[in-house]
Amino acid sequence: MTEPAAFRARVLALVARIPEGRVMTYGQLALLAGQPGAARQAGFVMNSLMGEGELPWQRVINAQGRVSTHRLGFGDMQEQLLAAEGVIFDATGRCDLSRLQWWPEEAAHTGPAPLL
């Protein structure tokens, strides 16, 4: 299942499971999708989707706790959407990842998830 299509499908499935008010990082998605180091691809998948369905793409942010859509002009929108879910962004545009980062039940632990 190392095919790009499978990777994309897994990322989508993971994103779809992110609870409201919680977030996941690109690297985390890539790791859980079975492709550690493919964080950029996770972002590429999102870019390919962006508005395809009811997918909460807004809950995917980078490892710094910042939104990475500022360049696309979606930065403010994403922050606002997350803020509406209870995610607090500080003055520097960052949020508390250690508290908001969500892990799926399959990986239910605080450390790295070597599953899949």
Partner DNA sequence: AGTGTGACACTAA
Partner DNA sequence: GTTAGTGCCACAC
**Is residue 9 within the footprint of DNA (CB under 7 A)?**
no
Q: Please say which residue, 67 or 107, places its beta carbon nearer to DNA.
A: 67
Measured between alpha carbons, how far is residue 78 from residues 70, 85, 93 in Å?
Answer: 9, 11, 11
| Residue 51: burial class (beta carbons within 10 Å; 0-12, 13-18, 19+) | exposed
Q: Which string of x and - marks every residue 82-101 that binds DNA (by CB under 7 A)?
A: ----------x-x-------
**Is residue 47 within the footprint of DNA (CB under 7 A)?**
yes
**CA 27-28-29 angle, 5° bins:** 90
**Is residue 50 within the footprint of DNA (CB under 7 A)?**
yes
Interface region with DNA, contact rule CB under 7 A, candidates 20-28, 80-88, 101-109? 20-28
Q: Alpha-carbon distance 29 to 31, whole Å?
A: 5
**Residue entry with tokens 């995610």:** 87
**Is residue 23 within the footprint of DNA (CB under 7 A)?**
no
**Is residue 40 within the footprint of DNA (CB under 7 A)?**
yes
**What is the CB neighbour count within 10 angstroms for residue 4?**
12
For DNA, the binding residues (CB under 7 A) are 2, 4, 7, 25-28, 35, 37-44, 46-47, 49-50, 57-58, 60, 62-64, 67-69, 71-72, 74, 78, 92, 94
